[in-house]
Structure 1
């Protein structure tokens, strides 16, 4: 039997902003995500964990529109987004940071952020003219780059950045879009130990605002323990556990079969 939490998470005091209902995808005879139903609330950071191949990133891809659902629905504030492409879901308020960076490689760091801001604000079509005449875009771009410790590399081409800096730039682009729902897929993957705190501090700051819904796929359990208000566990595409971190992590079934940890009573 899956470990389930019957009551809403402690921070879920408002209506769900994002909901999946019986979300399913099949690849031939293989069911990669199997009827996953979850509601996600503003002010709550939900960590999605499970072993490799559990369906975590596939679940993210179904929510953000990179994959087409076989069955089920994705709803944002009650609006069914299931038939919309990824771009339309972004404009609706879903923001996704990928495991692999998704940047404009031939543009500079500053140009990447300006383009994201312009997309959010829907300012004109001639980006080059808009950028040169809108001080607010430039000032906000500088603020975002400072927040991810990239202000000193604003004129560097994105393709020339090391991997860790590309991940930081991707987070800056996501923040520029200011979505209602933030979806982070292993945001610290490939970063050095010194670079990780910058991203974690940004996620903490978003969480403290209490007006954003945050989903986090993460393998590092120390990060999950620190940041998560709620944990859901996927295994073979099926929702196996959903609840407060202490309850989920303490479950022997989750520790042994899904998180690969020794049971707490065996730890010394």
Structure 2
């Protein structure tokens, strides 16, 4: 039972495991994430970070173990039902509506959050407030001038910013970012990092961030967990984890050792 000093985690995995044939991609990972915290998940390529994300968000079915949101077991729920429980992960744009504009995609996410479903033909004439919210969201991610473009015609950096806008439009309790700055130009990165910082500053959302850039991790994370060969090998506050010899030498490489 949770207490005032040990509240129910916003998100928890217990012994979470997945096997692909004889390969154990995620190996009995148990970890709890409290409301209002940002946890960076780091490790070498192939460590199981994205697979762990896929198990949490429901894109993959666990071989063993469980996923809990606010203490409730969601392990058997599909990805769509997990979204309704407050679990949000940046969209893969190819799975959205590439024939629609950036604005229309954000409008649909806001409409879904408002409980009006995903129909493109519902409520828009009578809900100007939701349209204005979508416009403001694109302004926030510096895409207002590209509101009428299709996602598939945007640059990679702008696509990543649109992913963040869509996730913020859904306003989940738990945000999951998988390398949100990957492939972005140096000029584009600060926009996304500032948005994540703003979400964190609210103090009532839980954020999981898979990230390779240690400067990003240092600037945002309250905590770092390290995966290697699918197992959890380190967990703690950033300075101590980054300074750990096992992490520097085996998992984060020279960037962490000499940054």
After superposition, residues 61-100 of structure 1 pair within 5 angstroms as 61-97=54-90
- Residue deviations 1:201-220 (CA, integer Å, cap 9, x gap): 00000011110000000000
Identify the match of residue 237 of structure 1 among 205, 219, 230: 230
1:58 aligned residue: 51
Distance 1:19 1:178 in 2: 20
Q: CA deviation at 1:263?
A: 7.7
* Cα RMSD for the two superposed structures: 1.8
TM-score normalised by structure 1 residue count: 0.91
Distance 2:163 2:91 in 1: 8
* Distance verdict in 2 for CA 1:25–1:129, change over 3 Å: closer
Q: CA deviation at 1:85?
A: 0.7
Moved more, 232-241 or 137-146: 137-146
2:244 aligned residue: 251
2:148 aligned residue: 155
Distance 1:29 1:67 in 2: 17
Q: Is the 8 A contact 1:252 1:263 kept in 2?
A: no
Question: Is 1:128 aligned with 2:115?
Answer: no
Question: Is 1:217 aligned with 2:210?
Answer: yes
Query: Tell me, which stretches of 5 or more residues in structure 1 are unaligned?
Result: 1-11
Moved more, 100-109 or 57-66: 100-109
Query: Tell me, which stretches of 5 or more residues in structure 2 are unaligned?
Result: none
* Distance verdict in 2 for CA 1:21–1:160, change over 3 Å: same
- Residue deviations 1:110-150 (CA, integer Å, cap 9, x gap): 10000001111111565324122211111110111011001
TM-score normalised by structure 2 residue count: 0.94
Distance 1:27 1:159 in 2: 32
Distance 1:102 1:224 in 2: 28
1:183 aligned residue: 176
* Distance verdict in 2 for CA 1:112–1:100, change over 3 Å: closer
| DSSP 3-state at the match of 1:82 | coil
